[in-house]
Amino acid sequence: MGHETLSNSSENVPETAEYKIPATENSGKTSPENERNGVFYPLENLPRPEAPPGLNGDVLKKPSLENNFTVDVPAIGKYLLETKNSLSAAISRRLSFEDDVKGGGGVTEFYMSGIQVVVRTKQVDEETSELANLKGRVTFYSKSNCRDSGAVRKMLREKGLKYVEINIDVYPAREKELIDRTGGSVVPQIFFNEKLIGGLVALNSLRNSGLLDQRAKELLGSECPDDAPGPPVYGFDEPEEERTDEMGEIVKLLRLRLPIQDRLIRMRLVKNCFTGTELVDVIVHHLGTSRTEAIGIAKEIVRKHFIHHVSRGNYFEDGNEVYRFLEHEQFIPKCFNFRGSLDDREPESAFRIGQRLMKIMSAILESYASEDRHHLDYLAISNSEEFRRYLTMARSLQRVDLTALSTDEKLAFFLNLYNAMVIHAMIRRGYPEGMIERKSFVTDFQYLVGGSSYSLNAIRNGILRSNHRAPYALTKPFSAGDDRLQIALPMVNPLIHFGLCDGSKSSPSVRFFSPQSVYAELRAAAREFFSRNPIEVDLSKRTVCLPCILKWYSVDFGNGKDIFKWILSYLDAEKAGLLSHLLDDGGVINIIYKNYDWSMNS
């Protein structure tokens, strides 16, 4: 733990908190060879575990770590795969001998060299199990961030009823089908096979009257007929409205006609470039315009991010300055939403894309995250139709006009983009296991947005923190003259740190924000963070233990007692009272920072 002391003196005491993985009960008791794939084994000099009477001794051997995972999925990362394999092996071995161990009431006891191990097996309700095995299908229509839809989802899970969810924010073409079947677009709407049950009120009525199980058995006892609502089909997108960009058609011609080549400019080799004069000449020759009109067309093409000046972004002049197509920029190979080609269609508005991003990622959380949204099933996300549609949507960010966003819209847009990119990076690259990998994780995984590249570091520290240095960094994300400085927020709001999830267990829960209520949602996120990571106040020792995130970004929260004053409004009454007592008496306050748990939030 880091430690510092505060007094009424204005002198700053050096802080010593470091990025550390928290100590565990095994600290000092294991060595690297005893810890493999996150599984701790006894030290070699301890007595060998003895199997209980009547058991084959093999059942207590170390779990096999052989890779028997056969699902063909994108690169989820070695951490996720190895953890899943080791856990799967341990669970399957447990299940293989569970029935042979003598025990009753769902509790099994056995001994390993004097250590008593008690295994409590979960009791499965016979009625719930019976509902789970029904032949039919429950289908319900929903929307993202809909409280009633969430209640339906929770109730169906508790009853063990398998269901198919059709989120009309993710599948907008299904809304017409919903209207045809129910006479309106109100959600949720629940179907047992082809039979409409109704919304949350109807489902609650069936449950409260004790008729839900009976009704489910009656209507779901047979196979689902063809006239029931169909499940979403993986890999098929609804037809989109035509968004032809007139400049895009001209650019297709320019790609064929411009003399693109490597050139030596001021003792520097610039690849895949051409001059402004060459660009204007091609437009004049092939479009039959005057030179003045051609210069105007060239400026519009540059403004729309089809072409950039090699060092000055959107600048254009008819001369020897050199330019290149956006797809030839050096940062493109690091942009994971590029997908091999540029989207030449007229871009949607940044606000509309931001809304789509928020809704589709919220739908992913509702289906593949724990109820508190602090644990995600990355494997299920990677194979989902929702995530495939997100990847398609992310491609439309390439040339979007970010300057049209208001401050609130920009705040919500980049909070959501950061959290979505973290999920994508976890699936595509795997979770970083060390300091060097974490640095690469936040700098090398990038998106092409509005003609520029954005890493996680650029979004957090460049955009959301108004181009402040990251903790322990020597330079700012954006240098002078960087076009992205025009997009950066004018000032830092410390609440952003509770809206950003870095994929670790100590980070805030994953959230996606609405521009209309982003500040209220950030305040709620801060209260939830301090509820899950409560500060610890010791009056006798005059010590306060704080999350490490407050130290790393102390320049945003304030130093010393300013941090306490800032967080008071986000604490529960008891902790706020204790902290206020320490602040009011004017004495010395010692600060200890909790170690950060960098393990994966899967």
The per-residue pLDDT for 82 is: 53
The per-residue pLDDT for 391 is: 95
Confidence of residue 433 (pLDDT cuts 50, 70, 90): confident
Q: What are the structure tokens assigned to 266, written together?
A: 């001021």
Asked whether the beta carbons of 494 and 557 are under 8 A apart, the reply is yes
CA distances to 1, 146, 358, 367, 440 from 361, in Å: 35, 14, 5, 10, 24
The answer on pLDDT for 310 being more than 70 is yes
The answer on pLDDT for 321 being more than 60 is yes
The answer on pLDDT for 87 being more than 60 is no
- Predicted confidence (pLDDT) per residue in 370-417, tens digit: 988 999 999 999 999 999 999 999 999 999 999 999 999 999 999 999
Q: Among the CATH numbers 3.30.70.260, 3.40.30.10, 3.20.19.10, 3.20.20.30, which is that of 126-221?
A: 3.40.30.10
DSSP H or E segment with residue 142 = strand 138-142
Q: Give the type of residue at 405.
A: L
Instruction: Kindly report, as residue ranges, where domains of CATH 3.40.30.10 are found in the chain.
Output: 126-221
Distance CA 557, CA 566 (A): 7
Q: What are the structure tokens assigned to 434, written together?
A: 């060390």
The answer on pLDDT for 343 being more than 90 is no
- Predicted confidence (pLDDT) per residue in 450-482, tens digit: 999 999 999 999 999 999 999 999 999 999 989
The per-residue pLDDT for 6 is: 55
CA distances to 54, 90, 93, 101 from 96, in Å: 14, 10, 5, 10
- Predicted confidence (pLDDT) per residue in 172-207, tens digit: 999 999 999 999 999 999 999 999 999 999 999 999
Q: What are the structure tokens assigned to 558, written together?
A: 């304030």
Asked whether the beta carbons of 546 and 596 are under 8 A apart, the reply is no
The per-residue pLDDT for 266 is: 83
Distance, C-alpha 335 to centroid of its chain: 17
Distance CA 409, CA 354 (A): 8
How large is the average pLDDT for residues 233-254?
Answer: 85
The per-residue pLDDT for 127 is: 61
Window from 11-25, 207-221, 502-516 with minimum mean pLDDT: 11-25
Window from 90-99, 226-235, 466-475 with minimum mean pLDDT: 90-99
How large is the average pLDDT for residues 345-363?
Answer: 95
Rg (CA), the chain: 29
Q: What topology does CATH give the domain 247-330?
A: Arc Repressor Mutant, subunit A (1.10.10)
For residues 328, 334, 337, 340, the Cα torsion angle rounded to the nearest 10 degrees is: 50
DSSP H or E segment with residue 589 = strand 589-593
- Predicted confidence (pLDDT) per residue in 114-142, tens digit: 444 555 544 545 666 788 889 999 999 99
How large is the average pLDDT for residues 199-223?
Answer: 94
The answer on pLDDT for 65 being more than 60 is no
Task: Name the DSSP class of 187.
Answer: S
The answer on pLDDT for 546 being more than 60 is yes
Instruction: Kindly report, as residue ranges, where domains of CATH 1.10.10.10 are found in the chain.
Output: 247-330
How large is the average pLDDT for residues 440-452?
Answer: 96
Most confident of 23-37, 91-105, 330-344: 330-344
With the C-alpha atoms ordered 420, 176, 206, 160, is the resulting torsion angle positive or negative? Answer: negative
On average, the pLDDT of the chain sits at 83
